[in-house]
Structure 1
Amino acid sequence: MKVLLLGATGLTGNHCLQGLLATPEVERVYTLTRRPLAQTHPKLTAAEADFEHLEASAHFFEVDVIVCCLGSTIRQAGSRERFYRIDHDYCLEAARIGKARGAKAFLLMSAVGASPSSTVFYNRVKGELERDIIALHYPLLSIYHPGLLLGHRQEHRLGEAALSRVMPLLNRGLIGPLSRYRGVEADMVAHAMVNEVRELSLPELTGPRVEERHYEDIVALAVAST
């Protein structure tokens, strides 16, 4: 199958890239990034894109599956308005183009607590994105709801770095319904997404169908082929 990966330069996205390139079921991996991708591979077609004008790169969306790990923070984006543009508008536009170009499955990296009615701005943006992509009626929309993503980032996030140090201890107390709020290694989320792609049977995707992946689902998917 052919896969388009968005957000390949990010923490989870880079792990996804390595996994997809190593997956025999994936014959071609396309990436669109806002900055150069420092990697080459016989299966990889990489290009920089202007996400304000994604239609100019519409031919990259002629794939079977889209994996979207695109995202930012308000600090990185510089304002709430810019954050909304990146985390909502860019992702939604990608989903719209992909649907129009025949993509059968869309795997979306969202966040635990995402809800269009949330009082937390970050969660509300993620929730509005989910709502709007659901309305596109993909044959399969798989939404990942990880808690705090753990792993080494190129950029330093002070609050996340402090929380990451204590998250393994906090995880022990997050049991039952609270387990979905556990911190999770970014490479585990990536393994789960890659395994889901690997196990897809494209002819059976007649949908529309929406799946939500929380902590325990992510862990189960991540170890499915190990």
Structure 2
Amino acid sequence: MKLLLLGATGLVGSRALKLALSNDTFLEVIAPTRRVLPQSEKLVNPVNSSLEELAPILKSYKLDAVICALGTTQVKAGSKEAFRHVDYELPILFGQAARAVGVETYAVVTAMGASSASKSFYYRTKGEVEKAIQDIGFRSLTICRPSIIGGERNEARAIETAVLTLARLLAPILPKKFHVNPADVIAAALLDAVVVPKLGCHWIYADEMN
């Protein structure tokens, strides 16, 4: 099958890319990015500083499924608008473009606590993107809602590092849903969801990805 992977330079996306490239199920992995990825035999890597400009070319790839691991923080993005562009607008744009060319399977990472009614801008955005993707009408939609994501990042995030450390220290007394979710486990869940797609919309919660 041919897979579109969004967010291939991120923590979860990079793990998903590695797993997909080593999995014989995937004949080709199309991973649009803002910076060039290391070359691989099955990898197609369209590069553009504005990812949205790559959405119209999807029809040329004859895709079977989409995995969206796009995500940032407001601090890193620089503003609420820039954060929403990455975490809401791009997942929807590529989802709509993929569905328009016949793709029926989509898997996405949001966050535990995602809710369109949340007072938190972060969790409200995550909830809104879940709802908007459901409205696109994929035959199979999987939404992963991890807690704290564990793994080595390309960039330092002081607050997340502190939270990870605290979560690991408190793990024996914390409910399972608040345990650290390893990026590799989340990535594997995403791949499983598109390799063996289930009809309808399904959520994978944090306590299932420990």
TM range (shorter): over 0.9
CA contact (8 A) 2:114 2:123 kept: yes
Distance 1:69 1:212 in 2: 15
Is contact 1:61-1:98 (8 Å) kept?
no
CA distance in 2 between partners of 1:218 and 1:157 (Å): 22
Q: Residues of 2 paired with 1:78 and 1:173: CA distance? A: 35
Q: Where does residue 192 of structure 2 map in the other structure? A: 195
Aligned partners of 2:203, 2:155: CA distance in 1, in Å? 29
Q: Is the 8 A contact 1:112 1:181 kept in 2?
A: no
SS, match of residue 142 in structure 1: strand
Q: CA deviation at 1:100?
A: 0.6
**What's 2:111 paired with?**
111
TM-score between both structures, scaled by the size of structure 1 = 0.87
- How do 1:134-213 residues align onto structure 2 when only pairs under 5 Å count? 134-175=134-175, 179-200=176-197, 207=199, 209-213=200-204
1:125 aligned onto 2:122: no
TM-superposed CA distance for 1:70, in Å, is 0.7
CA distance in 2, matches of 1:122, 1:167: 20
CA distance in 1, matches of 2:179, 2:60: 35
Q: In 1, distance between residues paired with 2:70 and 2:183?
A: 14
Deviation at 1:61, TM superposition (A): 6.0
> What are the equivalent positions in structure 2 for 1:27-38 lying under 5 Å apart?
27-37=27-37
Provide the secondary structure at the position in 2 that maps to 1:48: coil
- Residue identity opposite 1:20 in structure 2: A
> What does residue 44 of structure 1 align with?
43
Deviation at 1:173, TM superposition (A): 2.2
Query: Which residue of the other structure, out of 198, 202, 205, is the alignment partner of 1:214?
Result: 205
User: What amino acid sits opposite 2:126 in the alignment?
Assistant: K
Deviation at 1:40, TM superposition (A): 1.4
Identity of aligned residues (%): 31
Offset at 1:60? Answer: 5.7
Question: Kindly tell me: are residues 121 and 60 of structure 1, through their superposed partners in 2, closer, same or farther at Cα, counting changes over 3 Å?
Answer: farther
Does the CA-based 8 Å contact 2:56-2:97 persist in structure 1?
A: no
Q: Does the CA-based 8 Å contact 1:116-1:124 persist in structure 2?
A: yes
Q: How many residues align?
A: 209
Aligned equivalents of 1:163, 1:36: Cα separation in 2: 31
> Is the CA contact (8 Å cut-off) linking 1:32 and 1:46 kept in structure 2?
yes
1:57 CA drift (Å): 2.7
CA RMSD, 1 decimal: 1.6
Instruction: Report if the CA contact (8 A) 2:106-2:194 is conserved.
Output: no
